[in-house]
Homo-oligomer: A and B are copies of this chain.
Amino acid sequence: MEIIGKNFIGDRLSALGNINYRTFDPLKNIENKTCFVEATLEELEDAVTLADIAFPIYRETSGAQRASFLMAIADEILNLGEDLINIYCRETGLPRERAITERGRTIIQLQLFAKTIETEGWRKKINETAMPERTPLPKPSLIKTHIPLGPIAVFGASNFPLAYSTAGGDTASALAVGCPVIVKSHPMHSGTGAIVSAAIIKATQKTGMPNGVFSNLNSKSHELSHALVEHSKIKAVGFTGSYSGGTALQKTVFNRKEPIPFFAEMGSINPIAILPGAIKEKNNEIAHEIADSIALGAGQFCTQPGLLLTLDGAYTDHFIEELVNALKSLDLQCMIHNDLKKNYIQQSDKINSLKETIPIQDQEDQLEDNLVHPKLSMITGGQFIANPQYQEEVFGPFSLVVKCKNLKELEQVIYHLKGQLTGTIFAQPADYKITGPLIDAFKSRVGRFIFNGVPTGVEVTEAMTHGGPYPASSDSRFSAVGPESIYRWVRPITYQNWPNELLKKLID
């Protein structure tokens, strides 16, 4: 009998639609069994209405109550045990250890947000008492606090089925501050999404949260996504994914009668500049470190280093050689979906087909399986500056070496970059005196600026910025990672001149 993957309209399972899809096992190169039923516009309406009804109730829960809810979600996810790990691996081809690590990160995030909001400090309350004697006019009492925006739409990432999808950072941060969440399930891992959704619903019931604080809608088509962000009762959107997907949704949001906060993390090519002293003194070491970062998780990280900025010279040539050797020595890895592999080949071929590109390492990838070779190509600084196509992200283990004729050109290359999640400088003390202009240039382009280290590996902590100037993120003033990410979903409100008796109702 066929297993049907239904939608969660709050705690109710629903499958009214007649369009189905299956997820894909990239290791076995076959479709998985469960047949997911795409949510209809009617189901979307039901989910949003339920969220809208739940909102005024959920908004008034205490931080302690919502913290228990988040902790219960974490517990229920752990309770899924091997079922979760197995379905994760079956839907992504990622190794078991990665599934466990990512589950750990998801749990840590839920705990972190629980801790952030369990007391009311996150509201940054400012209390100014009245000054009735002030001249020329008395001053009324003013209390400023922060309240949630309303129901939030969340779009999970293909490359993080747990930590940036169903119960990932966007969902956890929105639930933390009192916003109901409607997740549009990622079609590459809707099975993982479904069992995590079941865990969230269980936690909702166990901790007595109002039905409708969480819904999960299946869809492979774009229509439902646009209808979701267009809905007047949706008050903000969290998206993690590609530039094309993010900007398409943003356009829909911009066309709303009431535009709403739209936070999209749309990836980047994460430039690394390697300065002369570093390339001379740490040549092999850096080559190996960068090779590992390029190919980590088949290059399917938004912080994957896709651009290596160097100065032309003998040490750089040796660095490139060593980098190629390092990349060749790595085990081939499986991409999350056959579509991603096709995409990788297409995008890297596109860069390599530009007439200036010199492919250095460009092995044919077998089309029968979903393993991919890391690829490396090369151009000059002038060529990079002249052609913005070189800035397009290749999602996968591809990197482009840019050979600049001097530091000035390297600086210009950085100024020509679009906004980036990260930027990195590798330097030795001998380089310190020449870093000034490059630091200035990078500062204006990145959300996280790294010294002597690779960009992959994002700490989930207060001091993290995961975002950056457009198009790395749609709004550089916020971060998608860390406790501060809750401020994407709240707004200030000021209460003026309220008597204590009624303030209890206003201030949580």
Contacts and interface: CB of A to CB of B under 8 A. Distances in A.
Given A459-B139, A493-B443, A470 B258 contact: yes
Interface string A130-164: 00000001011011100101100000000000000
A61 interface: no
Given A144-B462, A250-B259, A435-B505, A497 B128 contact: no
A248 to B, nearest CB: 13
Interface string A479-508: 100001001101111111111011001100
Given A439-B505, A451-B502, A506-B449, A142 B494 contact: no
A353 interface: no
A134 to B, nearest CB: 10
Nearest to A471: B258
B495 A449 contact: yes
Give the size range of A's interface with the partner: 35 or more
Contact of A447 (B476, B488, B493): B493
A148 to B, nearest CB: 10
A497 B462 contact: no
Contacts of A449: 493-496, 498, 506
B490 A443 contact: no
A475 interface: yes
A448 interface: yes
Interface in A104-151: 126-128, 137, 139-140, 142-144, 147, 149-150
A451 B139 contact: no
B144 A464 contact: yes
A429 B499 CA distance: 10
Contacts of A498: 449, 451
Given A459-B139, A477-B261, A477-B490, A453 B128 contact: no
Contact of A506 (B432, B439, B479): B439
Point out which of A127, A429, A465, A479 has the most chain B C-beta atoms below 10 A from its C-beta.
A465
A463 B142 contact: yes
Nearest to A149: B476
Nearest to A470: B258
Contact of A254 (B137, B254, B494): B254
Nearest to A490: B477
A462 B439 CA distance: 34
Given A150-B444, A506-B439, A497 B452 contact: yes
Contact of A450 (B250, B258, B453, B496): B496
A51 B190 CA distance: 49
A436 interface: yes
A470 B262 CA distance: 14
A457 interface: yes
27 contacts: A126-B463, A128-B463, A144-B462, A144-B463, A149-B476, A149-B477, A259-B470, A260-B470, A261-B475, A432-B502, A435-B502, A435-B505, A436-B505, A447-B494, A448-B493, A448-B495, A449-B493, A449-B494, A449-B496, A450-B496, A451-B495, A451-B496, A451-B499, A467-B491, A477-B488, A478-B492, A484-B492
Given A126-B463, A149-B477, A260-B470, 17 more contacts: A128-B462, A140-B453, A144-B462, A144-B463, A144-B464, A150-B444, A250-B259, A258-B419, A258-B470, A447-B491, A448-B495, A449-B506, A465-B493, A476-B491, A477-B487, A477-B492, A484-B492
